[in-house]
Structure formats: C-alpha cells, structure tokens
Amino acid sequence: MNKRIFIFIIILMTVSLVGIIFVQGYWIKNTVESNEEQFSMGAKQILINVVQQLEKDEVDKYYFKFASIADSTIPVRAQLSEIFQLPDEGISTEYFTYSNRLFQEDYKIDSPFLAENQDSIEFKKLISRKVTAVMRREGMDGNTINALERYERINNLEDEQKYLWLDAIMEMASKIPIHERVDTLEIKKLIDEQMEKRNLKSDFDFGIYSNALSTKVKTASFELNSPSTYGVPVYSYNDEYSDYQLFINFKDKNKQILSSIALMGGLSVLFTLVIVLAFSSAIGQLIRQRQISQIKTDFINNMTHEFKTPIATINLALDSVKNPIISNNPEAVDRYMNMIREENKRMHAQVENVLRISKLEKNELNIDKEKFNLHDIIEDSISHINLIVEDRDGYIKTHLDAKRDSILANNSHFSNVIINILDNSVKYSASEPKITVTTENVNNYIVLIISDQGNGMAKQVQKKIFDKFYREHTGDVHNVKGHGLGLAYAKQIVDDHHGEISVKSEKGKGSSFIIKLPLIS
C-alpha cells in the first residue's frame, strides 16, 4: 500500500472516530442538562405546592379561631348601635358586619395563637385597624350559618375584601416566631406527599431561613450552600414580600438525574469503547501488516543477496573447472571443488536457519538436553569463530570466572546461540573485532556475558533486536551479511532452556549480550 494512502486512511478513520465520540458526548451532555432542568422545575414545583399548603393551613387556622371566638363569646355590653350592617346584594337574608370596634368593645379575648408579647389588648387594637367580616345571620333555610360555612363564603368575597382579610392575618402572624407557626415534621410530611405524587424517591434536607439567617425550622444536616439547593418564599400572602424562604436540597440529585439515562448512556459508552478498541486494533494491525510487509521485503532482499554471492562463486568455479588449463591441474581443480563445497555449505546453513526458526515457533524442533559444562560449550564455540576474528586482526578474550558451570542443555543448539552472538559481534565491528567473554555465578544461576566494542545500537533498536527478520536499517547499502534470524533463534533457544537473554548497548560504544541460565547439581 502506498504510504500516502495508508496515512490518509488512518487520518480518515481517526477523524471519523473522534466525530462519533463527540456526537455521543454532545448527546449525553444535552440529555443530562435537560434532565437537570426538569429536576429543578420539579423540585421548585414541590416547594411551591408545599408553601401554598402551609399558607392555606395557616389561613384556615386563623379563621376558625376567629370564628370560634365570635361564636362563643358573649358581649359584655350591647353596643349594636355602633355595628354597621350592610346586606349583601342578591342575598337578602345574609349580612356582612363591618366594624372597627367589634372585638375591642364587645369581647374579652385571650387567644392561644397570639405571640407571647401580644396580650388581648394589643390584639384588639391590631384588629381594630383592619376591616374584618363576621357573618352572624341566618341562612336562607332559617338555620344559623356555622363557622365552616362562613369561612367558605368568605372565599367568595370580592378580591379587595379578601386582600384585607389576608393582610390582617399576615400582620398578626408576622408577630409570631416562625417555629411556632410551622414545625419540621409538618413540612417533611408535605414534601413526602408531593414527592410521592411525582413518583420521586430521594433523600432530602430542608430549612427555613429569614434574610439569609437560619431559623429553628430545619433538618440537622441541611446546608444552604449546597449545589443541589432550591428555594421559594414562604408565607408571602398576596405575593407580598416575605422575610422567610423555604429551601430544600436533595442528597442524591446527580443520581436522580443520571438514572434516567443510565442504560442508554452506559450502552453508548460501551459501544464507543468497543469502537475505540476495534479502531485501535485495526490501526495496530495495519501498522503491523505494513511492518511485516517491509520486513518480508527486506528478508527477501537479504536472502537474495546472501544466495547470490555463493551461487555466483559456484558458477565461476564451475566455469573455471571447465577450462582445459585448470582441468589438467589437479590441485587447481581440488581448490575450486573445495570452494564449491564451502559455498554450498553456506547456502545450506542459511536454509537451515530459516527452517530451524520456523520449527521452533511450531514446537516441532526436538531439543534433547543433557548435563554439560557451559565453559566447554563456550570454548568450542569460540574455536569456530576464532579464525575469522584473527583474520581481521581482532581477538576474543575469555574470563570464565564462574565456579559452577553445570547446566542442562542441548550442546548443538546452545553452541549455535553463542556462535550467532559472536558472529554478530564480528559483523558489526567496523575495525578489528575486540570481543570479551566472561562468566560468573549469581545465586543458582550462571551468567554469560559476550561484549564487543563494535558499532553498538540505539535503544529503539535494542527493543526489536530479538524479533524475527529484524535488522537495523542502513538504507540501500548491504554492507552487513545476514537476514535477521540469528538473534531471534538465540532467544528461542535460551527461552527453551528456561533462561533469559538481554542486551545492553550504546551507539558507537559496542554491545553486551547477557545470558542467564539455571545451574544443576
């Protein structure tokens, strides 16, 4: 795949995924905001209904007390001349009595609903400043109208008359402390009723405040500054200003808001995560496939180069043998035949490396292990590579300091591991190879360290050095032989021996391969 097309596809997929996530997030955000707005409206409506009920209950209480007083009190003096009686239009047998001296002159009242600082005289003066209606006439059927009937009929008064009545109640009630007008249990009961009507289940706290100051009417754990607090004025008759406000806050407001979208929101998040994971996996696979494609291309190029040289050498040797001058010279023929044999072995070794790594991955390679001394395997491996090192004026120094070196290993395969590492040290040394081989005991392990002073490698290369077919890119220059299988094979064999292999390297300062193997007694 063309690199530009590959990058374009990744960008397109990324933008699409980000768009999907954005749309999902926007939808969830709008839904949460809508639910929060509905919750707030519902909470305020609950408070409004509770406040209306409280105000109605107070009006009922006051009116029935007035009616009771008027019904049960016997006038001290008959002063009916001072009472003005006006017939109500359309109902000839009913009268509304208006007087600014009715209670003051005719009744002695000690009412239990007055504040402690209000005696009966203060009450009478208070009433005398207001226009109060008291119905004391018989109904159309000749029966006396009782207090409840009079209360119901007062609701049919003209608005102006009704406002005067409520204003009188409000002024009297304002003299009484709020905790004597209403209690916490009454408010809680009303709130519970309203919440049950709305099928709302939530723990709540509430409180009444006067000009931002707390009153005694509140639950123990109420906090005014909570973000879940809602409030409305209370006892504001006729929409007049009130010093009191009823506040409520819901402990699990967020839970209530999110519960309605929990299922859809959860599924949305789940599917989005699945898409993200699938996208990440797809991108990873695309990148991996591209890397594999590049590795395969490099491997084919390397293998072609590795086979091209020995094939060319063999062809040249065969052509030389056909030459009559060479064919008549037994020594020359023998030299060329040895050359053909060595190049053939070289190609065979390349093929064996590929087959060996393939069998290792499929667990088809039988590795029989026996007890060996690691030092013997090391010395034997060095002997195979020593001639090449000396030919380049290099050296291999050994410091086999381990006191115990008995391991359970396959001699042939482990020798190949050491040879591959030594061969790498030779290949990647620009000048004469300088290699040091050391061993030491660490607890119940023997540690083998093969160090060189070659080219070294970057940290990024070190992470991939044991990957199959991996070779550090050096452009189109093929100045180092190999096909990226030697170290991958080495790791497979070490892992099969229950050991560990790692590398420490610095660019331009050489590399150290460290192999750690368990000892046996």
Q: Kindly give the confidence (pLDDT) of every residue in the chain, 521 residues in length, as a single tens digit, with 9 standing for 90 and above.
A: 567 787 888 888 888 888 888 888 888 888 888 888 888 888 889 889 998 898 888 877 776 766 555 555 444 443 333 333 344 444 444 444 433 333 333 333 444 444 455 444 343 333 433 344 444 444 445 555 554 455 555 555 445 555 666 666 666 777 788 888 888 899 899 988 988 888 777 888 899 888 878 888 888 888 877 777 888 888 876 566 778 888 988 877 777 777 777 777 788 888 888 888 888 888 888 887 877 777 677 667 666 766 776 787 788 888 888 888 888 888 888 888 888 887 787 777 777 767 766 666 666 566 788 999 999 999 988 988 887 888 888 999 999 999 999 999 988 888 888 988 998 888 888 889 999 999 999 999 999 999 999 888 888 888 888 876 666 655 444 444 555 667 887 888 898 889 999 999 988 889 999 999 999 87
For residue 146, the model assigns a pLDDT of 52
Tokens read off for 448: 């083998």
Instruction: Give me the residue spans of the domains in the chain.
Output: 3-173, 178-257, 285-359, 367-518
Contact in structure between 361 and 351 (CB atoms under 8 Å): no
Contact in structure between 412 and 384 (CB atoms under 8 Å): no
User: How far, in Å, CA of 160 to CA of 116, rounded?
Assistant: 31
Q: 92: buried, middle or exposed (CB in 10 Å: 19+, 13-18, 0-12)?
A: exposed
Whose tokens are 């049919």? That residue is 156
User: How far, in Å, CA of 310 to CA of 313, rounded?
Assistant: 5
For residue 302, the model assigns a pLDDT of 64
For residue 237, the model assigns a pLDDT of 64
User: How far, in Å, CA of 195 to CA of 222, rounded?
Assistant: 18
Whose tokens are 């998040």? That residue is 269
For residue 401, the model assigns a pLDDT of 92
Contact in structure between 231 and 218 (CB atoms under 8 Å): no
For residue 99, the model assigns a pLDDT of 38
For residue 446, the model assigns a pLDDT of 95
For residue 252, the model assigns a pLDDT of 77
Domain covering 367-518, topology: Heat Shock Protein 90 (3.30.565)
CA-wise closest residue to 176 among 90, 66, 62: 62
For residue 514, the model assigns a pLDDT of 95
Contact in structure between 503 and 465 (CB atoms under 8 Å): yes
CA-wise closest residue to 118 among 65, 173, 68: 173
Domain covering 285-359, topology: Helix Hairpins (1.10.287)
Q: 151: buried, middle or exposed (CB in 10 Å: 19+, 13-18, 0-12)?
A: middle
For residue 365, the model assigns a pLDDT of 60
pTM score of the predicted model: 0.42
